[in-house]
Each structure stands twice: as structure tokens, then as C-alpha cells.
Amino acid sequence: MSKINLSKICVSNLIESKAENIISLNVIGISSFADEIIIATANSNRHCMSVSEKLVEALKDNKTFVIGIEGSIDSGWVLIDCGQIVINIMKKEERDFYDLEGLWGENSVIEQSS
């Protein structure tokens, strides 16, 4: 599957799951582990797990290999590694604290949705 199609599947699934403040970052040339990072906010630990489980199911339905999933219901942050694209689903507190957007730089923003 192309990276563009994979990105669209991820973002549309996150929107459908009511994740908020979804942002895609182009990290080609900046990162050695991915070409794109998607970050989304969940409003609770349970919502974070629900969003991530639904996304993994959608990825598998679309025959996308998920390399790994990190995080637990208590962590407030779940990372889904699809190789070219890494998806971070975080509670607002964790997202504000780790500031991944700031880490990768605002010039890397591809797409943003509320």
C-alpha cells in the first residue's frame, strides 16, 4: 500500500474515532525510522486505547502490516508503528508535555485537522 493511502486510512480512522487535533508530520530526511508521524489527541486513557484498537483493526483489514504497538491503558500514550508511518495517540497532558510537534519542527507539518 502506498504511503499516501496508508496516511489517509489512518487520519480518516482517527477522525471517525473522535480523536482530536490530528497532525501529520513529514520527517523524511529528519528521521531514520519513519517518513511520516501522525499525532492525535484522545480525551481519556480508555479513549486512547479504543482509538488505537480501532485503528489497528482498520490497518489489518487493509492488509497493512503493523510492526509494533507500544503503550498501555494507564500510560495515556499509544504508539503504532507501521514502518513508513508511526502513529502517536496521546492524552492532552502527555501531548503537551512531550511536544512532539516542537521536537520535529513546524516546517514538517503536512496536514492538520481539529
Residues whose CB falls within 8 Å of the CB of residue 3, separated by 6 or more in sequence, listed in order:
35, 36, 84, 85
* Domains held by the chain: number: 1
Q: What domain range is 72 assigned to?
A: 3-103
Q: How many CB atoms lie within 10 A of CB 100?
A: 14
Residue-wise pLDDT tens digits, 28-64: 888 889 999 999 999 999 999 999 999 999 999 999 9
Residues whose CB falls within 8 Å of the CB of residue 17, separated by 6 or more in sequence, listed in order:
50, 51, 54, 55
In a domain, 114, yes or no: no
Grid cell, residue 48, equals 486512547
Instruction: Report pLDDT for 98.
Output: 93
In a domain, 77, yes or no: yes
In a domain, 111, yes or no: no
In a domain, 113, yes or no: no
In a domain, 108, yes or no: no
CATH number for the domain that contains residue 44: 3.30.460.10
Q: Model's pTM, two decimal places? A: 0.90
